[in-house]
Amino acid sequence: ASLLLVACDKTPTPSKASDVSADTATQEWSKHGGGDAEQRFSPLRQITPENVDNLGLAWAFDLGVSRGIEATPLVVDGVIYVTATWNKVFALDAKTGALRWQFDPQVDRSKGADLCCDAVNRGVAYSDGKIITGTIDGRLVAVDAKTGTKLWDVITVDQSKPYTITGAPRIVNGKAIIGNGGAEYGVRGYVSAYDINNGEMLWRFYTVPGNPENGFENAAMAKAAETWKGEWWKYGGGGTAWDSMAYDPELDLLYVGVGNGSPWNQSIRSPGGGDNLYLSSIVALRPDTGEYVWHYQTTPGETWDYTATQHMILAELDIDGEPRKVIMQAPKNGFFYVIDRATGELLSAKNYVPVNWASHIDSETGRPVEIPEARWGSKAPYLQLPGPMGGHNWHPMSFNPASGLVYIPVLETPYIYANDEEFSYKEGRWNTGSDSAMGSLPSDLAQFKAVKVAVKGRLLAWDPVRQGPVWQVEHNSPWNGGVLSTAGGVVFQGNADAKLVAYRADNGERLWDFFAQTGIVAPPISYELDGEQYIAVASGWGGVFALVYGGLMPAASDPGVGRLMVFKLGGSAKLSELSKASIQKPTPPPSTADAITVAKGKQLYDSNCVVCHGDHVISSGLIPDLRWSPLLATAEAMQAVVLDGALSSRGMPAFKALLSKEDVGLLRAYIISAANDGLEAK
C-alpha cells in the first residue's frame, strides 16, 4: 500500500480559548501540563517574536547525570522542582537557581532490566505543600515541598512483576493518580489513586481484564473480557497507562491514556482477534471512585505497539458553528483525534503523519479502516509507518487558544513488523512476539544511508478544526523535545541538535536558538517572578529512540550532563564547557566466528540488549558502546557481567535467568563481529 502523505495548507482557523485551563492563568506552573486541561500554553506575553532575540540564559543547574531527562519542571511559590535520571528530585530557587534541597528515593539500579525506554521520569506533582513523585521501582513518594523531608512512601505495584513508573502523577480532588509501565514485559496495566495526606490507596482501575476465573473487578472489566480471546491473562495483556492524563473539573472526569497490548502480536495474545478493550484507548473515569464512564479506542485489536498514552489536551473548539468541549490526542498510530469529552463520541480524525496501516477512520463507526497486509500477526512481514516509536511519542504537544493550533513534535520511523516464529513466553521479560531482528535498521551501508534519510522528525502546527497542517519545520533527526506555546505568540521546542529554538506561533519562522551542548527531549515551561517572564527547560538527551537508534542518527546529539536551563530577556549567563571524555576504541579481538554463529548472536542481542545498547551495537553514547568494551577480551569476563551481574550497581542487571553461557558466547561473537565491521556512529 502506498503511503498517504499529508498535504500542506496555510490557512489557520482560530478558535476560542478553552474554558478549563484555569490554572494556566496564574504566573506559575504548578501542574504537569500547565493546568488540568494540559494545554501547555502559558498566558504570559512579555516574550514576543519581536524581542525573543534578547532571550538569554538567566541561570543553569547541573543535574549531575548524563542520561535522558524528560521532566516537566513545576514552579510553585518561587521554587522550581525538577526530576533527573533514577528519580532524583531537585528543588531550586526559581529566580537564582540556588539549590534548596535534593531528594534521592534510592532506586535499585537493577530495576534497569525492567525498563523498556531509559531510566527516565517525566516530573513531580505538587499539592498542599507536598511534592509527589513516582519511582522506577513502582513507588509513590511524597516529600515536604519546603524541606525535601520524606512524608510517606508507598508501593503501587506487584513487585514480583516488571512494573516501572516513568510518568508524572496528577492531582485530582486531593488524590494523587498514578499509572505504570511494562507492557513489553507482560504486565496488566492499571491506574490507582492515593490520598495525598497519607499515601493510602483509594481505588484502582485495571485497563484490561484478568483471568475470568478470579471474577471481574467491575462491569467495565466484564464488558472488556468479551472482546478478548484465548488465555490473554497469562501474558498480562498490557494496556499500561504510563504517561498521559487530563482532568475536567466541570464534568468531573479524569481521562487516562492506555497503552499497547502485551505481547504486541495479537495472534499470540488474543488468537482469533477481538478489539481487546481497553488497549490503545482514552478511558474517562470518575476521579473519586475510579468508576468507568466512557472509552474511545483508537486502535481496536492493537498489534503494533500503538499506545494511546500520548499527551491529551482539553479545549473548547468551534465545530460546525457550535462550541464543543473536546479532548484531542495524536497517539502513536498516526491519526489526530478530536473527541467530545463528555461522551467519547468521535468528532473527527485525520492522519497527521504518513500512515499505511489504515486508509482512514470511518466517521460513522469511529473505527480505523485497516489495510489487511498490515495485520502482520502470523502473516508476512510488513514495512509500516508509523512504527513502534509512533507518529508522536511521549513528548508533549501544545495548544495555543489564540492561534487555534496544536503544535505536535512528530516523527517518521518506518519499521518492519514480523512474526517471531520461535516465540515462547518468558516470565517477566521482553515479550513482544515480533522478530526484533527484522525491526533492526539494515546493516548494509548503502541501504543504511537510505534509511537514515527516511527517518524524520518535524514540528507540526496542526489545525484541529479543519484537521490539517498549517506549517511544519523539518528537523535533522526524529527524536526532539516537547513543546510550549505562549500568549506572546512564541512556540518553544528543544531538539536533538542540542538547541532550544523559538518559532513564530502563526507561521513557524525560526526566531532564536540557544546551544545546550546536549540534546533536549523534555518540554519547556514558562513562569513569571517579580515582573519577569522566564522560560525553563531541562537538557539531557535520552529516551527510547536515543538509546536504540541514537548512535545511528546524523546530527543526533552527543550525550552530556543534563541541566535545568532558565532563560529571560537580557539574560547573559553562560553554560560551562562540557568536558568530553574521549571514547577509547581499543582494537577488538579478531572476528573468527562463522556467519551462523554471528546471526544467532544478533538474534539474542536484538531481543535482550538492543533497547539499551543500540541497534547494530552502536551506542547512543548514553550507555557504554559494547564494541569497545574490555570485557570482550575473554568469555569469562563477559559472563561475570552478563550472567552474574558484576556491574548491576551501575544499571547492568544479571541476565542469568534468561541467558546461558553458550548464549553469552554467541553474543560475544556478534559484538566482536560488529566491532570489526566498524560501522561508524552517525
Which residues are known to be catalytic? 305
Q: Per-residue x/- marks for ligand PQQ, 36-65, CB under 6 A?
A: ------------------------------
Q: Is 266 near ligand PQQ (CB under 6 A)?
A: no
Per-residue CA distances from 214 to 90, 135, 658 (Å): 43, 29, 30
Give residues 578-637 in contact with ligand PQQ (rule: CB under 6 A): none
Residue 100 or 161 having the CB closest to ligand PQQ:
161
Q: How far is the CB of 56 from ligand PQQ (least distance, A)?
A: 30
Cis peptide, bond prior to residue 278, ω within 30 of zero: yes
Nearest partner of 532 among 17, 15, 46, 20, judged by Cα: 46
* Residue 85 C-beta: closest distance to ligand PQQ, Å: 12
Can you name the residues that pair with 483 across neighbouring β-strands? 493
Q: Which 108-127 positions form the footprint of ligand PQQ (CB under 6 A)?
A: 116-118, 120
**Cβ nearer to ligand PQQ, comparing 190 with 292:** 190
Nearest approach, Cβ of residue 115 and ligand PQQ (Å):
7
394 binds ligand PQQ (CB under 6 A): yes
Would you count residue 411 as binding ligand PQQ (CB under 6 A)? no
Residues touching ligand PQQ, count (CB under 6 A): 21
Sign of the torsion angle spanned by Cα atoms 388, 389, 395, 400: negative
> What mask of x and - would describe binding to ligand PQQ in positions 169 to 198, judged by CB under 6 A?
------------xxxx--------------
**For the chain, how big is the Rg over CA atoms in Å?**
23
Q: What is the DSSP code (8-state) at residue 167?
A: S
450, HSE (Cβ side, Cα atoms, 13 Å): 6
In the numeric block, which cell numbers belong to residue 103?
531528594
Q: In angstroms, rounded to a whole number, what is the distance separating the alpha carbons of residues 417 and 99? A: 47
Question: Counting contacts by CB under 6 A, is residue 556 touching ligand PQQ?
Answer: no
Whole-angstrom Cα distance, residue 623 to residue 173? Answer: 41
The CA distances from residue 44 to 41, 486, 487, 507, in Å, are 9, 6, 6, 20
Does residue 70 interact with ligand PQQ by CB under 6 A? Answer: yes
Over the window 3 to 42, marking each residue x when it contacts ligand PQQ by CB under 6 A and - when it does not, the resulting string is: ----------------------------------------
- The sign of the dihedral angle between the CA atoms of 200, 312, 371, 388 is negative
Task: Kindly state whether residue 480 participates in binding ligand PQQ, applying the rule CB under 6 A.
Answer: no
384 lies in the site for ligand PQQ, by CB under 6 A:
no
CB 65 within 8 A of CB 107: no
- Point out the residue whose Cβ comes nearest to ligand PQQ: 543
Per this entry, what is the length of the chain?
A: 682
Smallest distance from ligand PQQ to CB 634, Å: 35
Cα 678 to the center of its chain, rounded Å: 31
Min dist CB 163 to ligand PQQ, Å, is: 9
Give every strand in the sheet of 281-285, ordered side by side: 245-248, 253-257, 281-285, 292-297
Residue 59 CB, shortest distance to ligand PQQ, in Å, is 27
240 is a site residue for ligand PQQ (CB under 6 A): yes
Residue closer to ligand PQQ (CB basis): 137 or 663: 137
Q: How far is the CB of 116 from ligand PQQ (least distance, A)?
A: 5
CB 611 → ligand PQQ: shortest distance, Å?
10
Verify binding: residue 418, ligand PQQ, rule CB under 6 A.
Answer: no
How near is the Cβ of 445 to ligand PQQ at its closest, in Å?
28
Distances (CA, A) of 212 to 90, 227, 242, 280, 326: 44, 13, 25, 21, 35
Burial of 293 (0-12, 13-18, 19+ CB in 10 A): middle
Among 259, 560, 562, 614, binds ligand PQQ (CB under 6 A): 259
If phi over 0 gives left and psi between -120 and 50 gives alpha, with beta otherwise, what is residue 65?
Answer: beta
Residues 618, 625: Cα–Cα separation, whole Å: 6
In angstroms, the Cα distances linking 116 to 256, 269, 347, 644 are: 20, 19, 34, 21
Q: What proportions of the chain, in percent to the nearest 5, are helix, strand and coil? A: 15, 30, 50
Measured from the CB atom, the residue of 386 and 468 that comes closer to ligand PQQ is 386
- Considering only 59, 206, 242, 376, the residue that binds ligand PQQ (CB under 6 A) is 242
N-term to C-term CA, the chain = 31
- Asked whether position 69 contacts ligand PQQ by CB under 6 A, the answer is no
CA atoms of 487 and 49, how far apart (whole Å): 11
Scan residues 286-305 and list those touching ligand PQQ (CB under 6 A).
305
Residues 244, 281, 297, 307: which binds ligand PQQ (CB under 6 A)? 307
Binding mask 449-478 for ligand PQQ (x = CB under 6 A): ------------------------------
Q: Which of 166, 270, 398, 472 binds ligand PQQ (CB under 6 A)?
A: 166
**CB of 166 or CB of 276, closer to ligand PQQ:** 166
Q: Residue 339, interface with ligand PQQ (CB under 6 A)? A: no
Contact of 136 with 108, CB cutoff 8 Å: no
Write out the residues near ligand PQQ by the rule CB under 6 A.
70, 116-118, 120, 164, 166, 181-184, 240, 242, 259-260, 305, 307, 393-394, 543-544
